[in-house]
Structure 1
Amino acid sequence: MPFSTIDGQQLHYLDQGQGPAVLLGGSYLWDHTMWAPQIELLSRNHRVIAPDLWGHGRSEQLPEGTTSLDDLARQALRLMDELSIDCFNLVGLSVGGMWGTRLALAAPKRVKALVLMDTYVGVEPEMTRQYYFSLFDKIEASGSVPEPLLDIIVPIFFRPGIDPQSALYQQLRATLAALPADRLRNSIVPLGRIIFGRDDLLPRLHELDAKNTVVMCGDEDKPRPPSESLEMAELIGCSHILIPQAGHISNLENPEFVNRMLLGFLRS
């Protein structure tokens, strides 16, 4: 799969299928393969672009000078420029929705449709921010994600009651446990601080095109609860869809429902 040099670092991405372009922005601590069910479906009639976040998958480390979600949005737009893709649909989950919203606001004529999943563009509640930052401090100091932190971090992504022996759960746990110290310290931790130290974008949501935007959320999402996505949908004036039996990575916990919703929305 191809790479693109952006801000001096190699960004790895998938480019599959032909037709109208769909840019997929994924979650923190996951690479582009989290979109496998959607890539398989959408690439039949669309050109799907799915980058790895910096320090994730096969992308190189966070470029020097990357300090905000606006930088991530600018870098994603640069990728589309390099691929000569002028107009595209954007589906962003978690941090993908955070920078995706900023991209849509910065280049409204280029984003034809915007799907925001399990995300929130307001500031992180202070208690939560401090808690996540304390985890980053521990990871940075140890140069690893130790067992006790894996027991805290991994369940956050899934609905309560998921089988901890399931392939989905165990795969994420193994991926996080295997992250090397340099990747954690140079990319994962600083990127996490950017995400959870973000500024407030809620006052600008009314600028989005409501008829071409939809907000979706797993009905059992813990880190980004449905109340947050409903707040965003009301500020945008767009549709709000709850994804049944799904937590934060809703596209993998209920891929059939998500695929049906995405296909219907993109066709409309």
Structure 2
Amino acid sequence: MMKCINFTAIRDRCLSLSFRSAGLKSTITTLHGGDTTIHCWIPKTQNPSKPNLILIHGIGANSKWQWDPIISRVTRAFNVYVPDLLFYGESYTSRPERTEEFQGECVMRTLEGVGLRGKFNLVGLSYGGFVGYSMAVRFPEAVERVVIVGSGVSLDAEMDLEDGLFCSKNIKDAASVLLAQTPEMAKELLRIAFYKAPNTNFVPSCLIRDYIHVNLNPLFHFQMQE
């Protein structure tokens, strides 16, 4: 049986071209004696007159998918660095750590490895907000300003869930929705996440399955190892 075209993979390649057109290049940095690999988009040419900006993505897709809508605009004003967090894109570790503090430490060491010097501004989206917040706490001498978008950094996970603030009863139930591994769970996530949820009844499951395979399969490893 002939395999269908993977439109998600094609879209992913187009996003890579978009990042390159915005003046960025793809880099790989190895840490912890080769146990950790971090992929990061960095400026092709560093402009000393521009401030530095770090964009940290959230759960659900790698950095290209979440930051492409603004990437061509922010690169005009900043030296932009866009890492893929662990278990997204080409970023991976064989070490057992799974905290946002460890993610932040890996991002910081990667920035140092690619030659970033001096202070930088940071934007963290959703889960990336937790990572960015931990970086600001741990590396105050480097982080000048932080913007946190849609991220509950003040959340007390256990207490707030128990008090009924969220529809999920515990962290494990929330993770099973956020880290959707089937088309059905992905549709459920959209119904929960949007006030006016899009109608997913007519979206072929094969397209959603391709998206999960390209963007979310590494997260299954992240979830199972926690």
Tell me which interval the TM-score lies in, with the shorter structure as reference length: 0.5 to 0.7
- Say which SS state the counterpart of residue 77 (structure 1) adopts: helix
Structure 2: tracts of 5 or more residues without a match:
1-25
Q: What is the rounded CA distance, in whole Å, between the counterparts of 2:124 and 2:70 in structure 1?
A: 12
> How do 1:10-89 residues align onto structure 2 when only pairs under 5 Å count?
10-16=37-43, 18=47, 19-33=50-64, 34-60=66-92, 62-85=93-116, 86-89=118-121
Q: Does the 8 A contact of 1:150 with 1:177 survive in 2?
A: no
Q: Does the 8 A contact of 1:12 with 1:52 survive in 2?
A: yes
TM-score by length of 1: 0.58
- Say which SS state the counterpart of residue 186 (structure 1) adopts: helix
Q: What is the rounded CA distance, in whole Å, between the counterparts of 1:137 and 1:32 in structure 2?
A: 22
Instruction: Return the offset for 1:155.
Output: 4.0
Instruction: Return the offset for 1:109.
Output: 2.0
- Say which SS state the counterpart of residue 77 (structure 2) adopts: coil
Over the matched positions of the two proteins, sequence identity in percent amounts to 18
Q: What is the rounded CA distance, in whole Å, between the counterparts of 1:24 and 1:53 in structure 2?
A: 11
Is it true that 1:147 corresponds to 2:183 in the alignment? yes
**C-alpha distance after superposition, 1:148-201 (max 9, x if no partner):** 21221244454524454899xx977641255686x34422554xx5xxxxxxxx
**C-alpha distance after superposition, 1:28-81 (max 9, x if no partner):** 121111101221111112111111121212223x44131322111111111122
Q: What is the rounded CA distance, in whole Å, between the counterparts of 1:49 and 1:59 in structure 2?
A: 15
Q: What is the rounded CA distance, in whole Å, between the counterparts of 1:49 and 1:36 in structure 2?
A: 13
Q: What is the rounded CA distance, in whole Å, between the counterparts of 2:62 and 2:80 in structure 1?
A: 15
Which has more radius of gyration?
A: 2
TM-score by length of 2: 0.68
- Say which SS state the counterpart of residue 37 (structure 2) adopts: strand
The change in CA–CA distance for 1:51 and 1:188 in structure 2 (over 3 A counts) is: farther
- Look up the match of 1:126: 161
Is it true that 1:186 corresponds to 2:217 in the alignment? no
- Look up the match of 1:176: 212
RMSD over aligned Cα, in angstroms?
3.3
- Look up the match of 1:238: none
Which runs of at least 4 in structure 1 moved beyond 6 Å after TM superposition? 137-140, 170-173
> How do 1:249-268 residues align onto structure 2 when only pairs under 5 Å count?
none
Q: What is the rounded CA distance, in whole Å, between the counterparts of 2:123 and 2:178 in structure 1?
A: 30
**Corresponding residue pairs, total:** 184
Q: What is the rounded CA distance, in whole Å, between the counterparts of 1:118 and 1:138 in structure 2?
A: 17
Q: What is the rounded CA distance, in whole Å, between the counterparts of 1:4 and 1:82 in structure 2?
A: 7
